[in-house]
Amino acid sequence: MKRREFLIQSALLALFNNSFSNILKAENKKKHKKSKQIKKIIHSTNNTIPVIGMGTWLTFDVGHNTRKILEKIKVLEIFFNSGGILIDSSPMYGTSERVIGKCLSNITKEISLFSATKVWTPNTWHGVKQLENSEKLWKVKNLELVQVHNLVNYESHLENLFQFKQEGRIKYVGVTTSHGSRHEKTRAVMEKYDIDFVQFTYNIIDREVENYLLPLAKERKISVIANRPFQGGNLFNLVKDKKLPSWATEFSINTWAEFFLKYIISNDAITCAIPATSRPNHMEQNMQAMYGHYPDKELRKMMAQHIKAL
């Protein structure tokens, strides 16, 4: 193939890919307009929030890599254009908070942001400094939700966070854990403190929290953020090369990402799930989960049984 022919074909291919991407975006916008966005109530204020947020563990820890930061801007633009608002991060996530702030400052359209971060240190004084640093990195005046990460020094940090909430510096207080650990300690905190949010792992396989943490959250009116909704990507490995069950599309479930996320958000006690991704097309799939059919009890049972049988 001559160089001229190669360049022409390359240009045509790029034009096709760009056109296809624009068509896909247009189709997603049409779907969003036709379907009502699924939201849940934040119990302590009765405000509502979209059921799909975004995690940033690993995916936004890209340092000063300009190319990767530009990719993250695209991911965030799709997130906000699709109606997302809650972004969750932590000082533990390397450069993620700095990258979030950099990306947000490069988004030109007006957005609604629910900023959720954490304090993660055994030192109480350092926890206050972490909060101040997060405000600077996110480039926001006030953070919406600050959580005690993995319950580290939670007694002292919660005391400070409740004080900051009273002063109007933050709006919500919470605690987090993940990977199915510290459930007994989480339970004790939920029973003792008037926290607004609790965050732990919940997905279609990791369902231990259904036994007591989710019912307790419902009883205590604590809003719940579900982390690791794809079990760190393991769920996609489980269904690799497998088609969705034929009945799934009848309920507006068109991808495995929608399948996994809709199972989570259809639990009455769950407020929001926070899948993390670094790829724009995956973000588009994730955001589809908060539109369309909302699984009822029978459909949830079918979904769980299908995955169990794989």
List the CATH number of the domain containing 239: 3.20.20.100
Q: What is the pLDDT of residues 152-200, one digit of tens each?
A: 999 999 999 999 999 999 999 999 999 999 999 999 999 999 999 999 9
Structural domain total, the chain = 1
Positive or negative: CA dihedral 43, 226, 207, 249: positive
- Check residue 35 and give its pLDDT: 80
257-277: per-residue pLDDT in tens?
999 999 999 999 999 999 999
Residue 27 has pLDDT above 70, yes or no: no
pLDDT for position 89: 98
* Rounded (5°) CA angle 240-56-66: 100
Residue 8's pLDDT is 44
Which tokens is 291 given? 């539109």
| Angle, vertex CA 84, rays to CA 78 and CA 88, nearest 5 | 105
Residue 23: inside a domain? no
Whether residue 6 is contained in a domain is answered as: no
* Of 28 and 252, the one with more pLDDT: 252
pLDDT confidence band for 9 (50 / 70 / 90): very low
Whether 22 is in a domain gets the answer: no
Q: Does residue 108 surpass a pLDDT of 60? A: yes
Euclidean distance between CA atoms 61 and 198, whole angstroms: 24
- Mean of all residue pLDDT scores within the chain: 91
User: Looking at residues 2-16, what average pLDDT do you find?
Assistant: 44
Percentage of the chain lying above the pLDDT 90 cut: 87
* Confidence band, pLDDT 50/70/90 cuts, at residue 292: very high
Q: Which of 11-20, 212-221, 278-287 has the lowest mean pLDDT?
A: 11-20
Residue 12 lies in a domain: no
Find the mean pLDDT for residues 112-130.
97
Q: Which helix (H) or strand (E) holds 117?
A: strand 114-119
pLDDT of amino acid 24: 44
Q: 35 in a domain, yes or no?
A: no
Q: What is the pLDDT of residue 32?
A: 52
Q: What is the pLDDT of residue 53?
A: 98
Residue at 4 is within a domain: no
Mean pLDDT throughout 71-84? Answer: 97
299: in domain: yes
pLDDT at 19 over 50: no
Residue 29 domain-assigned (yes or no): no
Among the ranges given (6-20, 40-54, 285-299), the one the predictor scored with the smallest mean pLDDT: 6-20
Q: Are 134 and 172 in contact (CB under 8 A)?
A: no
- Based on the number of CB atoms within 10 Å of its own CB, is 100 exposed (0-12), middle (13-18) or buried (19 or more)? buried
**Euclidean distance between CA atoms 199 and 204, whole angstroms:** 16
For the cut 70, the answer to whether the pLDDT of residue 5 exceeds it is no
Q: Which residue segment(s) compose the domain that 218 sits in?
A: 40-309
The token pair that represents 51 in the structure block: 């059921």
**Which pTM does this prediction carry?**
0.89
Residue 31 has pLDDT above 80, yes or no: no
> Is the CB of residue 93 less than 8 Å from the CB of residue 100?
no
Task: Give the span between the Cα atoms of 199 and 177, in whole angstroms.
Answer: 6
